Amino acid sequence: MLKKYGLLVWLSLFLIAGFVFTTVAGYIVSRDTIQQGISEQTLPITGDNVYSEIQKDILRPVFVSSQMAHDTFVRDWIINGEEEQERITKYLKEIKLKNKAISSFLISDKSRNYYHADGLLKQIKEGEPRDTWFFRVKNLKSAYETNVDLDLANHDAVTIFVNYRILDYQGQFIGATGIGLTLNTLKHLIDSYQKRFDRQIYFADQKGKVTLTGSNFSKRGDNIQTISGIQSISEKILANRQSESMHLEYQGDNGTVLVNSRYIPELGWHLLVEQEANSGIRPIQNVFLLNLGISATITVLIMVMVLLTVRRYQKRLEKSASTDSLTNLLNRHAFDFVFQQSLLDAERTRQPMCAILLDIDFFKKVNDKHGHLVGDHVLKEIAAIAKRSLRESDVLCRWGGEEFLILLKNCTLEKATSIAENLRSTIENNDFSRTTDLTRTRLGVTVSMGVAECRSNETEDSVFERADQALYQAKANGRNSVYFSE
């Protein structure tokens, strides 16, 4: 019993010890003093939470913009003269919708055309105030910048833009691309945290100008260098260019105000989190830190144990959901997803792709004569032979029963038919009894195959239907053969 529930017992002991200790420590000082200490120590945590949420909202658009800038389709389209503008418009619209962005854009340095999700917006001009950002990005040493500006394509809405440099294959600047996010996202985030923690949260730029606040901003003024109280520490705040949090305080109208300041390089802004505090918080700070450390240690231990357990079971579930347990190939459900992605890639790159449907001839006779264990062995052997015969980029799955499906990327119908014929011949000449003790006589198996090339804008069902028709012809004409669909 102890061995079976040993982990649970230890977890219980850790929890009991931690909670007993924190409870005893909590009674050392008065409830009011402890609450004041928690307020002081959790203030930076609020800043960390807001910072984490901002990073999540900012870094994902940076990643998306990076993918756009490095997409060979985008670079080739610009290099080849920006022909067929509807292609780049469709691309930008897909990026915008998929990532729920307010804007997606591309500017060519050669033509100075400004493209967005609805088409050609304008031409960029030197000397135009609203276009200075492009020439700034052109001369950037870093790969991208994040700035706040008015979006001409969205009725001059205040927008956070991620501007990413596009380089050609020789590393030369050829344009800029990226997406934009509305400031309302951050404004709603500020309101939610102010309501939850009862703290004042706002942003100031590198010159001290208040750039973004919640709905209930109570300070008088628009620059921290002139706002009463916080102006006494404004120089320290603005001098900080590190993303680590900085703890400050100043005297306000109602006593000491605690400030947590952090510079956000992605925006070029300072995040400020404020809360009024009483002067009696200092005596219990050490006790609070001790409690916090113990609670954090217990929490980390529990999280690590739970994480390891969840990850182990998740891997098992994912494997069982996506692979065939007998052959260790992809199953039909997983293949559907892979096929859809491959079909999109083939259409985008305009490379041919073929599907091969393979069926074992008279497989029921193998089971009836030699038993199901031998039949299972044949299935595994054919899967192994197919893996060895195909390229690493090709996809093989067990379609069901004695059927297999093969997806050949960047492969013409003629080449796919040749590959299928070679595979058919290899299987025909293979002695399946050599790798098993289940049968002592030579065991030969043949297969029939149908090949179909994916057509432009063709559905998954249509491709498989044509491959199945070709397979039916192979069976109807004596089996052990390869037929293809025109």
User: For 117-161, what is each residue's pLDDT tens digit?
Assistant: 999 999 999 889 889 989 999 999 989 887 777 666 667 666 778
Can you tell me whether residue 265 is helix, strand or coil? Answer: coil
- What pLDDT does residue 421 have? 93
The residue type of 170 is Q
Whether the per-residue pLDDT at 186 is higher than 90: the answer is no
Question: Does residue 9 register a pLDDT over 70?
Answer: no
pLDDT tens-place string over residues 225-276: 999 889 999 999 999 888 777 888 888 887 778 888 888 876 678 888 887 7
What tokens were used for 209? 């100008």
Q: What confidence score (pLDDT) does residue 316 get?
A: 58
Buried b (16+ CB within 10 A) or exposed e, 455-485: eeeeeeeebbebbbebbebbeeeeebbbbbb
pLDDT band for 310, please (50, 70, 90 cuts): very low
Mean pLDDT (whole number) for 197-205: 82
* Segment 323-353, tens digit of pLDDT: 787 888 888 788 888 888 888 888 888 899 9
Whether 54 shows a pLDDT value over 70: the answer reads no
Both tokens assigned to 472: 């039916």
- Pick the residue with more confidence: 175 or 197? 175
pLDDT given for residue 460 in this prediction: 82
Given a cut of 90, whether residue 79 has pLDDT beyond it is: yes
What is the pTM (predicted TM-score) of this model?
0.41
Report how many helices (DSSP H) and strands (DSSP E) the chain contains, helices first.
13, 16
The pLDDT of residue 35: 43
**pLDDT average, residue stretch 110-114:** 94
Residue-wise pLDDT tens digits, 265-308: 766 788 888 877 654 454 555 555 566 567 666 756 765 575 56
pLDDT-derived band at 34 (thresholds 50, 70, 90) equals very low
Q: How many whole angstroms separate alpha carbon 114 and alpha carbon 168?
A: 18
From the list 240, 235, 234, 241, the residue with the least C-alpha distance to 219 is: 234
Q: How far apart are CA 215 and CA 194, in angstroms?
A: 9
Q: pLDDT of 373-411, one tens digit each?
A: 999 999 999 999 998 888 888 888 888 888 999 999 999
Which residue, among 334, 318, 347, 471, has the nearest Cα to 396 in the 3D structure?
A: 334
Which residue type sits at 22?
A: T
Give percent above pLDDT 90 in the chain: 34
First to last CA, the chain: 67
- HSE toward the beta carbon, residue 147, CA cutoff 13 A: 13
Render pLDDT for 412-457 as a digit per residue (tens, 0 to 9).
999 999 999 999 999 999 988 888 878 878 899 999 999 999 888 7
Give the pLDDT of residue 38: 38
